[in-house]
């Protein structure tokens, strides 16, 4: 019997297993104190690549991590002031990366039950002003197995590769500096490079993932296709009764 998927309703996480047929498996219930703090339904989930850890998040910013092998609550992420918009577990480090609605990024070490060194550095120094002032939340987070330091993220209007091995830019450094770097010498590029590499070439972005061979898949849907399915008043930007 192999683990296939997870589904949820308020306060419950049901493991759906498959051996040729769908079956309702064991049920995980949050700790009583967790349930008392949060009455929100689960809206985000992430599973580690080996199926050991399940991270679940609610709009009230409660993020709990469960060990599916022993069917018990493992730990909780320190509660943040904004709801998470995306989360994912790294396939090798098993660190949980979280993006919040205010554009903040966090990295949590599940095994050590604390923020990683990189995550603490982000909390201490903050992120670039232009990153925080974006008006669209991160919708998806993935990782590149061949480059474990990279975090791949997207919202509707940009795709970003965040290289944790490079320094975080301060507000005096241009966040979108890829074009400028192309015209510099190799030495100057290395001295001015920072963690964020961003492109707005693909939009609106609906989905992003990596295939097993390392190819990146980005799914766009043209605005014209979205508008075509809207009622006539919305197409004309006219509202009324």
Tokens 């992120």 correspond to 127
**CA separation, residue 59 to residues 10, 13, 87, 204 (Å):** 12, 16, 13, 24
Q: pLDDT (tens digit, 9 = 90+) per residue, 80-116? A: 999 999 999 999 999 999 999 999 999 999 999 999 9
Structural domain contains residue 78: yes
Structural domain contains residue 20: no
Structural domain contains residue 47: yes
pLDDT of residue 23: 66
Name the band, by pLDDT with cuts 50, 70 and 90, for residue 229.
Answer: confident
- Tell me which of 214 and 201 has the higher pLDDT: 201
Q: How far is the C-alpha of 200 from the C-alpha of 223, rounded, in Å?
A: 15
State both tokens at 133.
């002032």
Structural domain contains residue 174: yes
Structural domain contains residue 16: no
CB atoms within 10 A of CB 110: 21
Tokens 């970003």 correspond to 160
Name the band, by pLDDT with cuts 50, 70 and 90, for residue 1.
Answer: very low
Tell me the CATH number at 127.
2.130.10.10
* Domain extent for 142: 37-235
Structural domain contains residue 105: yes
Structural domain contains residue 24: no
User: Cβ contacts of residue 187 below 8 Å, gap of 6+?
Assistant: none
98 close to 64: Cβ distance less than 8 angstroms: no
Structural domain contains residue 184: yes
The number of domains in the chain is 1
To 10 degrees, the CA torsion angle through 216, 137, 57, 212? 0
């Amino acid at each position: 019997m192999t683990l296939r998927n997870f589904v949820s309703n308020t306060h419950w996480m049901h493991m759906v297993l498959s051996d040729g047929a769908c079956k309702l498996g064991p049920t995980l219930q949050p700790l009583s104190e967790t349930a008392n703090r949060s009455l929100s339904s689960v809206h985000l989930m992430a599973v580690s690549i080996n199926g050991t850890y399940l991270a679940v998040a609610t709009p009230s910013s409660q993020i709990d991590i469960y060990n599916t092998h022993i069917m018990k609550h493992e730990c909780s992420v320190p509660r943040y002031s904004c709801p998470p918009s995306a989360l994912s577990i790294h396939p090798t480090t098993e660190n949980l990366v979280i993006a919040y609605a205010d554009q903040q990024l966090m990295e949590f070490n599940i095994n050590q039950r604390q923020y990683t060194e990189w995550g603490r550095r982000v909390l201490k120094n903050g992120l670039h002003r232009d990153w925080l002032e974006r008006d669209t939340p991160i919708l998806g987070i993935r990782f590149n197995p061949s480059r474990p330091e990279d975090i791949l993220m997207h919202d509707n209007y940009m795709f970003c590769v965040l290289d944790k091995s490079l320094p975080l830019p301060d507000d005096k450094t241009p966040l979108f500096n890829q074009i400028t770097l192309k015209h510099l010498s190799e030495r100057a590029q290395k001295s001015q490079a920072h963690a964020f590499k961003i492109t707005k070439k693909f939009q609106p972005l609906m989905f992003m993932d990596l295939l097993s061979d390392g190819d990146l898949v980005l799914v766009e849907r043209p605005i014209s296709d979205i508008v075509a399915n809207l009622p006539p008043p919305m197409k004309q930007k006219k509202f009324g009764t």
